[in-house]
Amino acid sequence: MEIANKVFIVTGGASGLGAGTVRMLVQNGAKVVIADVQDEPGEALAKELGQRYVHCDVTQEADGKNAVAAAKELGALFGLVNCAGVAPAAKIVGKNGAHPLDLFQKVVSINLIGSFNMMRLAAEAMSANSPEPTGERGVMINTASVAAFDGQIGQAAYAASKAGVAGMTLPIARDLAKTGIRCMTIAPGIFGTPMIFGMPQEVQDSLAASIPFPARLGRPEDYAKLVHSIITNDMLNGETIRLDGAIRMPP
């Protein structure tokens, strides 16, 4: 499977793992729609790489449709990489009382329902593609987290949303198999991105120390390499792959 000249949408493509994925795809000759809510860095990255930026809140059906329409202007949509996500922490009972219900709903809405919204719209577009010689019509890659399997205190909403992302991967892959569309999920450990750089330094240090090998935070390029492997290996389907350096979270 060649990446060159294929059209991709990368949600959360303005920053972190998404931006690293955009760079990898463009280096390999793909055409990319960067879909994000951070317009300034999204526009800047699109300009730098000669690609397209679309303001797209993944929770909104109309925004998702706009991103798919923008991709179709570049050619047949072949790939979706769902990197949009948020990770606010809150305890079940904290200083200000019970975990805010609206915070839980927001996290699930962006991380889980937003991923599903983009997948259903992308799959609809991909199913109209002419198949590759292999029979493939497209590939969709979600981003879960090791929190889906090993959630920490304060991560109830985040872990639930990411477990949902991992959980929907296999049924969607099975559903779409006859159409030649694959669905995979990557569950990253701890990666050096703005999501992590926003944490206190001691927390970042203890997170880095929890990665036995390669004994460093993951980099967006590490994530992008796995995205490349998934796109180019059509035997990978329906799986959630941990990408975490055998992380063992501090107690």
Q: Write down how long the chain is.
A: 251
190 near 208, Cβ under 8 Å?
A: yes
SS3 label, residue 97: strand
Report 71-100 residues binding ligand NAD (CB under 6 A). Answer: 83-87
Reply yes or no on whether 158 is catalytic.
yes
96 CB-contact burial (10 Å; exposed 0-12 / middle 13-18 / buried 19+): exposed
Residue appearing with tokens 């606010």: 88
Amino acid identity of residue 248, one-letter, is R
From the candidates 8, 53, 78, 158, give the one annotated as an active-site residue.
Answer: 158
245 binds ligand NAD (CB under 6 A): no
**Quick check: 140 binds ligand NAD (CB under 6 A)?**
no
Shortest separation between residue 82's beta carbon and ligand NAD, angstroms: 7
Half-sphere exposure (Cβ direction) of 165: Cα atoms closer than 13 Å? 40
Candidates 196, 236, 241, 247; binder of ligand NAD (CB under 6 A) is 196
Nearest to 144, CA basis, from 69, 53, 49, 239: 239
d(CA 164, CA 207): 24
113 near ligand NAD, rule: CB under 6 A: no
Contact assessment for residue 115 and residue 82, using Cβ atoms and an 8 Å cutoff: yes
Q: Take residue 185 and report the two structure tokens written for it.
A: 């999920």
From 16-24, 126-134, 167-175, 225-233, give the range in contact with ligand NAD by CB under 6 A. 16-24
Considering the rule CB under 6 A, would residue 145 count as an interface residue with ligand NAD? Answer: yes
Site string for ligand NAD, 33-52 (x = CB under 6 A): ---xxx--------------
- Binding region for ligand NAD (CB under 6 A) out of 14-22, 65-73, 133-141, 149-157: 14-22
Residues with catalytic function: 158
Footprint of ligand NAD (CB under 6 A): 11-12, 14-18, 36-38, 56-59, 83-87, 110, 114, 143, 145, 188, 190-191, 193-196
